[in-house]
């Protein structure tokens, strides 16, 4: 039976990428496994350099003063690292979900953090709009896509101060003017690769402006100077991320995958809106093209629906406990066919009910 993986992360990877990665585990360099070669060897240094270059190329940031890094510790470490490197007096945060809330909590350890706007009052069902970003803050932080609640920022503000964005769950999924952002970070395990590495893309000109001493391992400048090899990198995660970016480039880049992602989102949201047995969680105008969140209108049908989903080979659609219901995560590697299978099951439930 074909499996349809809607997991929110670690999530689906392209099959060709998995096959190439599997071969590299067996034999990457003259009989040596990718898992046992030195990270200082030329074969892996070439992988790291290619991965960093591909990230900038796909984002359209080549030659614009940005550096790409592959670090460890996930986006959760970036919550602290951003503040350590950029926060001198105060910063503004847009609170749109669990992960932005956690980012605020971590940054508050260091200094004054203000929420410029929040949708917490409505359990994060929408994206705040019409807020002001003070021009005397050190930076403005936002989260582009909220995996748990299924909301996504559609239009980013023109920030008068450096803009930092957590793009962990929609990096490389849609065309944006990425030069609007001074720092982007994204855990690999949703759209880029396996868990274990985090992409950071930072404009060098915003660094070196805080008075505090920064531990070497937490200093972006140190990692830039060492070409993202200051300490032993997560070799396998970086390699698979490189393969994924190569695959994305071969398709035509972000613009090409965005069209496919829009098709998938339109297909499932049409079913959610037309099928009376389901209701969407997020406000329509703020719905994510990556994570569709929805619930059953009648919970008595849950056992039946769950059985049908399992029989269809669908996995990973249980919603987060903060929302309940279901969550269909449709990252770049998710084929339209899988979304169609889920929609067929939803339609069949309506016929049976």
Give the residue numbers marked as catalytic: 99, 166, 190
Gyration radius of the chain's alpha carbons: 21
Cβ(198)–Cβ(70) below 8 Å: yes
* Selection from 10, 61, 317 nearest residue 168 by Cα: 10
3: its two tokens:
């499996």
Q: How many CB atoms lie under 10 A from the CB of residue 180?
A: 12
Rounded (10°) angle between helices 235-251 and 254-274? 90
Residues 6+ apart with CB under 8 A from 317: 6, 309, 326, 327, 328, 342
71: its two tokens:
């670090």
CA–chain centroid gap for 86, Å, is 22
Conformational region of residue 25, where left means phi above 0, alpha means psi within -120 to 50, and beta covers everything else: alpha
**Angle at CA 189, nearest 5°, toward 183 and 193?**
95
Instruction: Report how far apart, in Å, the C-alpha atoms of 206 and of each of 5, 164, 210, 212, 214 are.
Output: 39, 11, 10, 15, 15
Residues 6+ apart with CB under 8 A from 44: 34, 37, 38, 235, 239
Rounded Cα distance, 188 and 75, in Å: 9
φ, ψ of residue 186 to 5 degrees: the values are -160, 125
């Amino acid at each position: 039976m074909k499996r349809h993986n809607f997991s929110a992360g670690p999530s689906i990877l392209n099959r060709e990428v998995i096959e190439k990665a599997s071969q590299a585990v067996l034999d990457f360099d003259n009989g040596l496994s990718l898992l046992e070669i030195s990270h200082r060897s030329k074969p892996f240094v070439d992988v790291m350099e290619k991965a960093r270059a591909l990230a900038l190329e796909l984002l359209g940031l080549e030659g614009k003063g940005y550096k790409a890094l592959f670090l460890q510790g996930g986006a959760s470490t970036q919550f602290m690292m951003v503040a350590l490197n950029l926060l001198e007096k105060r910063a503004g945060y847009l609170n749109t979900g669990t992960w932005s809330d956690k980012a605020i909590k971590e940054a508050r350890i260091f200094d004054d953090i203000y929420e410029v706007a929040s949708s917490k009052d409505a359990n994060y069902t929408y994206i705040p709009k019409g807020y002001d970003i003070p021009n005397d803050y050190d930076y403005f932080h936002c989260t582009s896509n909220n995996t748990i609640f299924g909301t996504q920022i559609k239009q980013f503000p023109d920030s008068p101060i450096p803009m930092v964005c957590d793009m962990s769950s929609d990096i490389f999924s849609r065309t944006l003017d990425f030069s609007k952002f001074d720092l982007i970070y994204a855990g690999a395990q949703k759209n880029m690769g396996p868990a274990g590495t985090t992409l950071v893309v930072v404009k060098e000109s915003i660094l070196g402006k805080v008075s505090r001493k920064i531990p070497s391992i937490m200093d972006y400048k140190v990692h830039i100077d060492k070409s993202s090899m200051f300490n032993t990198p997560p070799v396998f995660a970086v390699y698979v991320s490189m393969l994924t970016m190569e695959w994305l480039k071969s398709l035509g880049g972000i613009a090409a995958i965005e069209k496919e992602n829009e098709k998938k989102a339109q297909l499932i949201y049409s079913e959610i809106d037309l099928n009376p047995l389901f209701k969407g969680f997020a406000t329509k105008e703020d719905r994510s093209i990556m994570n569709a969140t929805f619930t059953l209108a009648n919970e008595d049908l849950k056992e039946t629906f769950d059985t049908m989903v399992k029989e269809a080979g669908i996995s990973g659609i249980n919603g987060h406990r903060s929302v309940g219901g279901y969550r269909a995560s449709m990252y770049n590697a998710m084929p339209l066919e899988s979304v169609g299978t889920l929609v067929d099951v939803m339609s069949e439930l309506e016929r049976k009910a």
